[in-house]
Amino acid sequence: MEVKIGVQNAPREIVLESAQTAEEVADAVAKALDGTAKVFTLADEHGRRVIVPSERLAYVEIGEPATRKVGFGTL
């Protein structure tokens, strides 16, 4: 699923495709915002990790699960 992360004082948002569920992402955001976690961490589909300090987190937009497209596009 596509996740967009806004970081304070950064001109661009971070966009990644995550293999985590929407609930897992929402739980990580909640822990970062309530002070339980000092950093907000997500892993993308290729195993790379994005780490943002919790106090710099502006917003997190959780998209719909991505569906895999197979074959050629329709005309």
- Provide the pLDDT for residue 36: 86
In a domain, 73, yes or no: no
- Report how many domains make up the chain: 1
In a domain, 68, yes or no: no
Question: Is residue 62 pLDDT above 70, yes or no?
Answer: yes
In a domain, 11, yes or no: yes
Q: Mean pLDDT of all residues in the chain?
A: 87
Angle at 43 between CA 42 and CA 44, to 5 degrees: 120
pLDDT by residue (tens digit) across 19-41?
Answer: 889 999 999 999 999 988 899 99
Query: Whole-model pTM?
Result: 0.78
In a domain, 27, yes or no: yes
Residues paired with 23 in a beta bridge: none
Give the domain range for residue 28.
2-62
| Phi, psi (degrees; rounded to nearest 5) at 32 | -70, -40
Question: Is residue 74 pLDDT above 80, yes or no?
Answer: no
In a domain, 70, yes or no: no
In a domain, 67, yes or no: no
Higher pLDDT, 68 or 61: 61
